[in-house]
Amino acid sequence: MSQTRRLAVILVADVAGYSRSMEVDEEGTLRRLKALRAEVIDPKIAGHYGRIVKTIGDGLLVEFASVVDALRCAVEVQSALAEHNAPLPPDRRIELRVGIHYSDIVFENGDIFGDGVNIAAQLEGWAEPGGICVSARVQEDAAGNLDLAFEEMAEQEFESIARPARVFRVGADRIAEAAKHIPRRHILIADDHPLMRSALAQAVARALPGVELLEAASLDQVFSVLRDQLPENAIDLVLLDLYMPGMSGFTGLFSIRAEFPAIPVVVISASEDPVTVSRALDYGASGFVPKSAPSEHLAEAIRTVFDGDLWFPEHAEPVGRAEDVALGARVATLTPQQLKVFAMLAEGRLNKQIAHEMQVTEATVKAHVTLILRKLGVGNRTQAVIAAGRLLVDPSPPVSGPVVAPAEAPGSTTRAAQQV
């Protein structure tokens, strides 16, 4: 494979006093480090979109695309290790030193090389146990994005830099406070099958340790959660099944997008034919993950959507998109009440039945229908029902396939929506 060059954030970490610990208790040191890697370090790296390039003895070389992600990861790892070490005697503690630099690197066969890697390694050597040391470029990029109290050190000599350069550090005593100010992501899992909600929760927790998960089993519960969350705990993403009480097919997607257009929605469905996947895109979803897909696809989809992009299965080709895009744009103009009426029209309900369900008069329903016909650009109720049929999806039996995780991942919080 040929070499390529790219900008990257390089994080180097190693265990402080590792050689001494190995001399005192080699087997115990290796066992403790292995456990911390599995339970704390590696999951947090993955949760902040890092890639472990390689391990070198007690050290780690990690690549990130973002300075903010690298620093958040370092702070959370150091904070978690400090909490873990607190009750232990000094000779049994595993403490890391971390160095971070942002620079051009050479990528080849999965490995990375270049002066940037060497600089990150030198920075790590200047960090105190439990602390973080960064280059000036990392500190500048973090300013205004992270609440970190950097302390400027004396200018340092780097092997690959002709003149001394500015270096900054975050001491171990300030890590715990910094960790408190790292915002947590909130994801709402909306599915009426308890086992599927549990499987999705475990898959998400493994992909994004520390995320707060909320659950809903009906469309009413979805709106209850979305409306009740305070600004500082706002939902960042909805994972939405297409069939739950209160919604059929894409009607729930339209309702959520109408009231909360800034919240991305990823459809999680057992109906995974190309037409359904394509319509999800056309109707405003940010992603579509089949319930039969492996949990790695769900993790990739969430990360892609959080990065501001769309994620859909590779096999999904757009089908009839022009017509669906046009319908989606017209349906998006309906009010929440009109969407409810429209959804019940799709189910073939009469005005009297709709009025009873919504606890309004038939005259009110007729007024809604008149406005719906006008907004959709159709001439009669039959044409509206035909259009509404494109929002429905053939319900498929629940799937408990590869998304099911064997055990709950550490570091996540799940709470169910209050029954409404």
- CATH code of the domain in which 23 resides: 3.30.70.1230
- Same-domain pairing of 158 and 198: no
In a domain, 417, yes or no: no
153 secondary structure, DSSP code:
-
Q: Which amino acid is at 363?
A: A
Q: Let me know: does 194 contact 205? Beta carbons within 8 Å.
A: no
pLDDT at 420: 29
CA atoms within 13 A on the CB side of 274: 8
Lowest-confidence segment of 69-73, 164-168, 179-183, 195-199 by average pLDDT = 179-183
**Upper half-sphere CA count for residue 177 (Cβ side, 13 Å):** 9
Task: Find the angle CA(215)-CA(221)-CA(222) to the nearest 5 degrees.
Answer: 70
pLDDT per position as a tens digit, 247-270: 878 888 888 888 888 899 999 988
Which of 165, 180, 195 corresponds to the end of one domain?
A: 180
Predicted local distance difference test score (pLDDT) of residue 273? 79
Per-residue model confidence as pLDDT tens digits over 67-114: 988 998 998 899 889 888 888 888 888 999 999 999 988 988 888 888
* 262 in a structural domain: yes
Above 90 in pLDDT, residue 216? yes
For residue 181, is pLDDT > 70? no
> What number of other Cβ atoms are within 10 A of residue 43's Cβ?
24
The pLDDT value recorded for residue 217 is 93
Per-residue model confidence as pLDDT tens digits over 364-385: 989 988 898 888 888 888 888 7
Report pLDDT for 398: 47
Domain with residue 353: its CATH number is: 3.40.50.2300
Whether residues 205 and 85 fall in one domain: no
Task: Using alpha carbons, select from 67, 70, 75 the residue that is nearest to residue 96.
Answer: 75
Q: pLDDT averaged over the chain?
A: 82
Looking at residue 132, its pLDDT comes to 93
Q: Determine the Cα–Cα distance for residues 256 and 261; give it in Å rounded to an integer.
A: 7
Residue 129 is predicted with a pLDDT of 92
Yes or no: say if 265 and 311 are a contact pair by the CB < 8 Å rule: no
Q: Which residue has the tokens 């990528």?
A: 107
Examine the pLDDT at 137 and tell me if it is beyond 50: yes
pLDDT of 133 strictly over 80 = yes
Does some domain include residue 254?
A: yes
Q: Check whether residue 77 and residue 205 sit in a common domain.
A: no
Shared domain for 172 and 121, answered yes or no, is: yes
pLDDT 10s digits, 393-419:
655 544 444 554 444 444 455 555 433
Identify whether residues 155 and 280 lie together within a single domain: no
The pLDDT of residue 277 is above 90: no
Mean pLDDT of 265-280: 86
Boundary residue ending a domain (180, 202, 236): 180
| Residues 133, 199 share a domain | no
Same domain, 194 and 176: no
Instruction: Looking at the structure, tell me whether residues 137 and 223 fall in a common domain.
Output: no
- Domain presence at residue 302: yes
Q: Which domain holds residue 248?
A: 186-389
Helix runs in 187-273, H state only: 194-207, 219-228, 251-259
312-338: per-residue pLDDT in tens?
A: 887 665 555 667 777 777 887 888 788
Q: What is the pLDDT of residues 13-37, one digit of tens each?
A: 999 888 888 888 888 888 989 999 9
Same domain assignment for residues 37 and 175: yes
Rounded-to-integer distance, Cα 186 and Cα 403, Å:
20
The torsion angles phi and psi of 56, rounded to 5 degrees, stand at -130, 95
Q: Pick the residue with more confidence: 252 or 307? A: 252
Q: Which two tokens stand for residue 79?
A: 């904070």
The pLDDT score that the predictor gives to residue 410 is 46
Beta strands in 109-255 (DSSP E): 111-113, 132-135, 151-152, 167-170, 186-190, 212-216, 237-240, 243-244, 247-248
| Counted domains in the chain | 2
> Using alpha carbons only, what angle is made at residue 61 by residues 56 and 62, rounded to the nearest 5 degrees?
150
Give residue 188's region: left, alpha or beta (phi > 0; psi -120 to 50): beta
pLDDT at 145 over 80: no
| Same domain (yes/no): 106, 202 | no
DSSP string, 55-75: EETTEEEEEES-HHHHHHHHH
pTM of the model: 0.62
Give 282's DSSP letter: H
Q: What is the pLDDT of residue 275?
A: 81
Q: Of 146, 180, 214, which one is at a domain's C-terminal end?
A: 180
In a domain, 415, yes or no: no
